[in-house]
Amino acid sequence: MRYRRPPTPVDWLVAAVVALFAVAEEASGRPMTPSREHFSLWIAAGGVAAVGVLFQRRAPFTILAVYSAANVAMLALSWENGAAWQFYTQLVLLFTLLSEVGPRSAKAAAGLAATGVYVTFMILTASPPAGWGGVAVALAMCAIAAGAGLAVRRHRVLAVQAAERGELLAREAVSHERARIARELHDIVAHSVSVMTLQTAGVRLTLPEDRERDRRILATVEETGRGALEELHRMLGLLRGPQADEPPRQVGLHRLDELLEQVRSAGLDVTLDTQGDPVPLPAGLDLSAYRIVQEALTNTLKHAGPTQVTVSVAYDPGQLRLEILDRGPRETRAQAGTSGNGGHGLIGMRERVALFQGTFTAAPLPSGGFGVRAVLPL
């Protein structure tokens, strides 16, 4: 069942214009206005036409077909000149029809045919007879209305396709970033499981022979750990695909000074502000915090060029706060600077924060520039 769209403010405006135009033309009594024998009938016809225009988007073909047939019948029965408001209303209905239905559909062809019949009948019943100039103007206006309707529909289709492509690209970007984060965290998890397995094996070997039951339990734990390592390596193979990347080197906030030196050499004037006493961080969170700062600085260099940046790392009770604030581009915006994340910097940062159930904001600053803020629960 087709969704019944309520009239929009634009529909109400166009309907009001049609009603006022019809009443004004029928009641004006100007010499060029057709003389009506049934004045009240034509006023009512203008009101009905305005109602049809108001609800034209619900059934554009039906309303156009009924309107065209009614006009032809009224002109045939009264054999009077058609009014300008009738012709312009026909153009409005034709525009709406072609903006709603496909150009190759049967309804579009039937709507054009109905409009052609009405315009032909209007020209034949004109008194005095319409000249070739009037015929050309009528045909040109019909062509403009039809072309505008087709153009609006084409624009709407392209807009929908662009939105769908954008949504697809966004989903692919999120998937890409999640896979990249998983690849990085894999080494941390694999290292932890490996240490647990080796320590279990060490304890098992140090137990005396009379504790055979404990030795068997530890052997089972050791075997389970080795199996988990094998499964982790298989999972990494799926994440990396056929062309495996080199294992990423372990980084964290302890290597933040190295990162800042790299971006300083690229032109950023970076200041580091550390608040609170640094505490040992879980390996995964430490890596994500480092990557967030790295992504933010890379985005600053790419979009603002060489500028001043303040990096704040605050060790608060129960949470780690990161702030990367820049002052925006200087007089000459830099075109250099590339992003190693394929343009998915903000997506990657947001996914890393969400992984640890933190909060993330990235927005322009009131004083200019851009700010990235992340809070990671410890």
- DSSP-derived secondary structure for 154-170: HHHHHHHHHHHHHHHHH
Residue 94 and residue 97: Cα distance in Å, rounded? 5
Q: Cα separation of 248 and 294, whole Å?
A: 15
Dist CA 349 CA 8 (whole Å)? 41
Residues in CB range of 139: below 8 A, 6 or more apart: 119
pLDDT at 273: 92
> Is residue 308 within a helix (H) or strand (E), and if so which, with residue range?
strand 308-316
Of 297, 284, 292, the residue nearest 250 (C-alpha): 284
Q: What is the pLDDT of residue 39?
A: 65
- Burial profile 99-132: b = 16 or more Cβ within 10 angstroms, e = fewer: bbbeeeeebbebbbebbeebbebbbebbeeebee
Q: Which two tokens stand for residue 50?
A: 């305005």
pLDDT of amino acid 16:
87
Dist. CA 261–CA 255, nearest whole Å: 10
Looking at residue 31, its pLDDT comes to: 45
pLDDT of 321 reads: 93
Using only C-alpha atoms, the chain has a radius of gyration, in whole angstroms, of: 36
Calpha distance 353→293 (Å, rounded):
12
User: For residue 318, which of 358, 360, 362, 272 has the smallest C-alpha distance?
Assistant: 358
Q: Give φ, ψ of 287 to 5 degrees.
A: -65, -45
Identify the pLDDT of residue 22. 80
Mean pLDDT of the chain: 79
Assigned CATH class of 253-377: alpha beta
Task: Walk along the chain (378 residues) in steps of 10 and give the mean pLDDT of each run.
Answer: 68 85 71 55 80 85 88 72 80 88 86 85 70 80 88 87 78 73 69 75 79 83 79 65 52 87 85 90 86 88 85 92 86 39 68 88 88 91
Q: What phi and psi values does residue 314 have, to the nearest 5 degrees?
A: -115, 125
pTM (whole model) above 0.85: no
Half-sphere exposure (Cβ direction) of 33: Cα atoms closer than 13 Å: 15
Neighbours of 88 (CB within 10 A): 17
